């Protein structure tokens, strides 16, 4: 009789422990990654533009600033006051690379999809430490578009740029 009541008490205790564990949630998790805790403000410097497309400097700066503020949670600051600086160079811009064709009966070829390709070098520098937090050189970004819709392709390429910057900053261990 005593053995049965001991088993019941043990089962009740186990059930209570399992219930308590499920209510508190899992205590296991990963730590690390992301920017150093001291990085709270950032200055986005205008990217140097080595291409013939003058509007890229402004477009890249706006997109990078928006992503760093909204996705990394950093506040904008002047270069002299910022904890970190994002700077880069637009090395190459190819707006009209054909990627998909259709052929006609009279040997005519029609391009149905084109590609914008942007090559950049970019870095995030910790100003207090004086060293790069993240950097990429020769980063090639592309975006497909329907002929006549180059802006769509460029927007897709710039989306990839900001994703690379944000993911690069978040991957620091």
Query: CATH no. for residue 61?
Result: 3.40.50.10610
Cα dihedral across residues 107, 112, 115, 116: positive or negative: positive
- What is the number of structural domains in the chain? 1
Is there a domain that residue 22 lies in? no
Measured between alpha carbons, how far is residue 144 from residues 22, 110, 148, 152, 156 in Å?
47, 16, 11, 8, 8
Model confidence, pTM = 0.73
pLDDT digits (tens, 9 = 90+) for 9-64: 556 655 555 545 544 444 433 334 578 889 999 999 999 999 999 999 999 999 99
Nearest CA to 42 out of 81, 90, 95, 70 is that of: 81
Is there a domain that residue 16 lies in? no
Q: Supply the range of the domain harboring residue 160.
A: 35-170
Is there a domain that residue 15 lies in? no
Is there a domain that residue 57 lies in? yes
Question: Quick check: helix, strand or coil at residue 162?
Answer: helix
Q: Looking at residues 122-145, what average pLDDT do you find? A: 94
- How far apart are alpha carbons 89 and 93 in whole angstroms? 11
Give residue 58's Cα distance to chain centre. Answer: 19
């Amino acid at each position: 009789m005593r053995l049965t009541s001991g088993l019941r008490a043990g089962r009740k205790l186990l059930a209570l422990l399992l219930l308590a564990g499920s209510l508190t949630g899992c205590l296991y998790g990963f730590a690390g990654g992301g920017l150093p805790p001291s990085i709270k403000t950032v200055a986005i410097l205008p990217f140097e533009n080595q291409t013939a497309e003058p509007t890229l400097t402004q477009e890249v700066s706006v997109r990078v600033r928006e992503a760093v503020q909204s996705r990394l949670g950093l506040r904008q600051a002047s270069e002299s006051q910022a904890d970190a600086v994002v700077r880069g160079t637009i090395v190459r811009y190819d707006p009209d690379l054909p990627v998909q064709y259709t052929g006609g009966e009279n040997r005519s070829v029609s391009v149905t999809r084109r590609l914008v390709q942007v090559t950049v070098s970019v870095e995030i520098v910790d100003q207090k430490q004086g060293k790069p937090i993240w950097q990429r050189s020769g980063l090639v970004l592309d975006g497909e578009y329907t002929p006549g819709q180059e802006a769509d392709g460029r927007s897709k390429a710039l989306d990839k740029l900001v994703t690379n910057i944000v993911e690069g900053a978040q991957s620091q261990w």
